[in-house]
Structure 1
Amino acid sequence: MGASSYHIHKAVPARVSLAFMTAAGVMVLYMLRINLSVAIVAMVETPIANNEEGSISVQPKASCLRNEKLSWMNQTHEEQATTETTTNAESRTGLPADEQASDRIVLSGTQKGLILGAFFYGYIFTNIPGGRLAEVYGTKRVFGGSMLLSSLLTLGTPLATHLHYSVLILLRIMIGLCQGVVYPALHVMVARWIPPLERPRFMSFTYMANCVGLILTMPVCGLIIDAVGWPTVFYASGSVSFVWVVLWFTLMYDSPEQHPRISTEERRYILEALGKDVTVKPKRTPWRDIMTNLPLWAINMAHVGAMFGFTLLMTHLPSYMSSVLGFSIKSNGLLSALPFLTQFLGSNACGMLGDFLLTRGYITVLTSRKIFTTVSLVFPAVVLVAVGYVGCNSTIAVSIFPVGTAFAGAICSGYLANHHDLSPNFAGTIYGVTNTIAFGVGMCVPVVVGVMTPEQSLGQWQAVFWVTAAMYLSTWLFYVVFASSDIQPWNSEGGGGGKGENVVENNHGEELESLNKTKDEV
């Protein structure tokens, strides 16, 4: 048994095990984040307003359905809307209304919206503290502690639901506060564990595991609700999270030096690749230097553009399909999952390509960051504009949508990996700054779209897509002009001692040499 275990540890590098553990954690993270979005359909009953004649109101026809050439679709659309409205409880959950009554609560549309948005009210406030906490106390404690608290709160969701909807709102805010620390903490882990040339692939696999979490959580939660009721969704997801937390605290270590089972060859390779630029616990944060740093603002702007477009792609394009084309993308499970799947696959493809180009020495680090940032910002901009001009052809529009998300997945190989180039010591803090700014802008997207599309016409949506494309392109231009891969002077405690790009590239050359020497051993 001992010899077998030894060979397993030799065969599987510690950072590979770390990648799978982290990816599993991100999947569970999103399970806890979106379980309410699925379960709320069975949890809540929203009163339906009637018209003056006492009959149930029908949604206006979609913009394209007003075309006389599609009159046969109009009739189908009206019948479908009426059927969905009159069989409200049964059609959404698959259960008879009388069997659900005891577990359902009655809320207005506004109250329901407040509950769904409550997570983000908390999330935006803990990104910066999360990065700093991980730099001081380690990702193991911050990520694991966040998931532990999120698990406890998730298990309490059914009770909070039946107490009062305001209690549920408070609980979701608390879950958001807990989870806001996670991605900045992961940035710290990457800085201390992953050699620079391997970061695009590692981050694509782990960070974008949220897409896999979304793909799995939606149908599984639906099956659980149909089988045993919506409260079990929270009991099951909270329990799964607990299992992951136990494994995380048992197997994860904050640095290669602390890992008891890592091979000597792998430890030496990682530490030589990281160099002397990463300290374990920086004592102070150079806030003034961080907030006035132009290369960091290049990353901030790129993330703003990506978040603006991502929010539109993930939350509003299905509405466009429904309100303009008369086609609900949510009605087809494959089409609902496809954008998440293509983003995950696209991100990992870019990560492998980025690793290949860097490890072969074909391009520099800065060139790699700019190429993949261009892919993640310019190509989705083109896709969005194209969606607006395919007219009423829903087949082409739905086919183009996943292409845009696939391109957007390149962010992990582009600007998202750039934080570590500028300051591995403060990667968590500066990512927290970036995510807070971008998320604040992203929260404005629903308002912007609402103002620009009062009639939900094709022309109004075309204007929305042009505005989003302008955001993509302007932030991309700012990035390619001002981005840098130089380690900044404030990375070292007390400032000073910054490296120029030539020195950085020389370090990567040394890493390539070390990789060639140790790849057969690790």
Structure 2
Amino acid sequence: MVIRSWNVPHLGGQHPGADKHSPLWGSVRLTYTLCAFLTNMLQMGMRNMLGLVILRMVKARPEDVLLQHSALASNQANNLTDSQVCGSGVWHNASLELVETGDLPWTRNQELTFPGVLYYGYVIALPLAGHLTDRFGGKVLFINSMTMQALSYIALPVMAEYSYVAAVIVMVFSGIFAGCGSPPLYQLFLVWAHPTERTSMLSFAYSGLIVGSIGIYPLASYLSDFGWRVPFYVLGNVALLYGISCNWLIYNTLEQHPRLTDAERDYLKPKDFAQAPQHLSIPWRSLLTSVPVYAFMLTHVFHNCGFLVFSLIMPRFMQEAMQFNMKEIGFLSSAPFIGSMLSKLICIFSCSYIERRLFLNLGRLRRLLYAVCTSATIVLIGVIIVASCQQKALVLLIFVLVGATMDMGFSGGYWPTLLYFAPSFAGMISGLANSLGHLSGFLAPHLIAILVHTGIKSEWNAVLLTLMLFNALAIIVFGLFSSTTLQTWDPRSQKSNLTNSTQETTN
């Protein structure tokens, strides 16, 4: 009986479904999966906390108060209702906001764009890091990425006090260090996960992004009560100690790991093409003319825009458009990521079963799943646009559902496809896709600075409309042009053809 899988095609030899199973509990592949989970959690925590802590870093600006009162007067002159100018109510609490602001003399434009500065370095580092990972393995980049980013966060408060430019430089370097860690984390799963376990393990590992996003807002809010510098010092030191400890937990190949049992080595040992880093020549012509490659990268660009905007602006949206106070923001900004966690749990406990049991065209199933989930996201964002700031409970519920639909489409439909159509170059292509996808990390804050001048909800609605557009483009690109078929220019495909020819000759 043939068992189809959503994972990298098992070429030659015995099918993965017939391999002797090795227990997951206590295994080194579980150790790596947990390390990947913790890395994602810390990485996302360090990134997302900027959106909240920035609200307490910058001192109050008298010119903003004048602008806000001018906008209120204009709205009253135009006889607009409270729901139409939703968001302006926060201005009546100006004295409260003065207490909660910090001591950095930055402009509103600087304040809005600073959380996205990290992505300037992030997009620069990703492609090179992906290429180096495919050639030389991911351990060194994986570990140094975390430790160096931790050191940059520890240094940031001092640099921010010195000048805005100095803080920007530190954040750019922090982005470079963060970008160096993403491709190796992804590529190492080719070594430390059995083909029939990859989707579940990837889903669990990347759920760390969601756990970090959920936990960082209340944690950063609590720590910033002792000063806005405290979250940087605490998170930076924790990440530094963790990064150093990974030297004894993560290895590039099966042969290098000192604690790998013979049973697990046999279970993970590739039956087709070597999982260890290969010195492969890159088929640039085929790669640059491959429709699935472009579909994978463009889908990431369009989809990632929504995720990054929610990560970067959620606390400010809660404060300005929905009129929550700082204590509430610390807990409620996690709403989209709670939904994402629910989605991750579904993927973790269901994908392996689906991969082993279903006899369907799984490529079409992935496209259908992504289209349905992303269409639901568009509808839900529309509900947020229509809702007023008085409907706080409804908006919070919708944000939870948006997080669930966005992540279900990403984790269950889109992201694992790369491990099927081009596994030999997974590190490089994922690096390129992440690089392009995270352009919105620094472009979105500039767009927000252009569209949101006073913070009323009608201005924020314009930002949400752009998210609807990007999600619609993602459906079109992924639905029409994606693929899960192993491409002929991938060396694994050549290995498969050679194996099949040998078997036919023998017969």
Normalised by the length of structure 1, the TM-score is: 0.79
3-state SS in 2 of match to 1:489:
coil
Q: CA deviation at 1:438?
A: 2.2
What is the RMSD computed on CA atoms of the aligned residues? Answer: 3.7
Q: Deviations over 1:186-228 (max 9, x none)?
A: 221122222233222212211231221122223223333323x
> Which residue of 2 is the match for residue 408 of structure 1?
406
Counterpart in the other structure of 2:241:
243
The answer on whether the counterparts of 1:342 and 1:406 sit within 8 Å (CA) in structure 2 is yes
For residue 252 of structure 1, give the secondary structure of its aligned residue in structure 2: coil
- Report what 1:303 is aligned to: 300
Distance change >3 Å, CA 277–CA 66, structure 1 → 2: farther
Residues 56 and 82 in structure 1, CA contact (< 8 A), matched pair in contact too:
no
Deviates more, 1:459-468 or 1:347-356: 459-468
Give the letter for the 2:91 counterpart. A
Task: Report the equivalent of 1:26.
Answer: 40
Distance 1:22 1:58, change over 3 A: farther
The Cα shift of 1:358 comes to: 0.8
Q: Give me the whole-angstrom Cα distance separating, in 2, the residues matched to 1:498 and 1:375.
A: 36
2:260 to 256, 259, 262: 262
- Inter-CA distance 291–225: structure 2 relative to 1 (3 Å threshold): same
Q: Are the aligned partners of 1:318 and 1:330 in contact in 2 as well (CA < 8 Å)?
A: no
1:80-99 correspondence to structure 2 within 5 Å? 80-83=90-93, 85-92=94-101
Is 2:375 the counterpart of 1:378? yes
Displacement after TM superposition at 1:325 (Å): 5.9
Change (3 A) 1:499 1:400: farther
Residues 261-297 of structure 1 show CA distances to partners (whole Å, capped at 9, x for unaligned) of: 222222222224x632645223433333222111112
The answer (yes or no) to whether the contact 1:277–1:424 under 8 Å persists in 2 is no
Query: Which residue number in structure 2 is paired with residue 202 of structure 1?
Result: 201
5 Å matches for 1:136-175? 136-175=135-174
Query: In the superposition, relative to structure 1, how do residues 277 and 296 fare at CA in structure 2: closer, same or farther (>3 Å)?
Result: farther
Specify whether residues 307 and 170 from structure 1 end up closer, same or farther in structure 2 by C-alpha distance, changes over 3 A only: same
In terms of mean alpha carbon deviation, does 112-121 or 131-140 score higher?
112-121
Q: What amino acid maps onto 1:355 in structure 2?
A: S
Deviations 1:348-372 (A, max 9, x none): 3123222211122344542453244
Deviation sequence 1:453-477 (CA, Å, 0-9, x none): 7898878876765554343234323
Say if 1:362 and 1:13 are closer, same or farther in 2 by CA, change over 3 A: farther
Higher relative contact order, structure no. (Cα contacts within 8 Å, ≥ 6 residues apart): 2
- The 3 A distance-change label for structure 1 pair 248 and 443 is same
For residues 314 and 114 of structure 2, what CA distance do their matches in structure 1 show? 22
Query: Structure 1 343/66 Cα, relative in aligned 2: closer, same or farther at 3 Å?
Result: farther
Distance change (3 Å), C-alpha of 1:196 and 1:280: same
Contact 1:369 1:417 in 2 (8 A): no
| Contact kept? 2:33, 2:204, Cα under 8 Å | yes
In 2: Cα distance, 1:135 partner to 1:142 partner: 12
Q: 1:449 to 1:106 in 2, by over 3 A?
A: closer
Output one character per residue of 1:378-424: Cα deviation in whole Å (capped at 9) or x when no partner.
22122223333456744323311210111111212222111111222
Which residue of 1 is the match for residue 477 of structure 2? 478
Unaligned runs of 5+ in 1: 1-8, 94-103, 504-522
Shift in alpha-carbon separation, 1:290–1:111, aligned structure 2, 3 A: same
Task: Choose which of 8, 11, 17 in structure 1 pairs with 2:31.
Answer: 17
Q: How does 1:172-187 map to 2 (within 5 A)?
A: 172-187=171-186
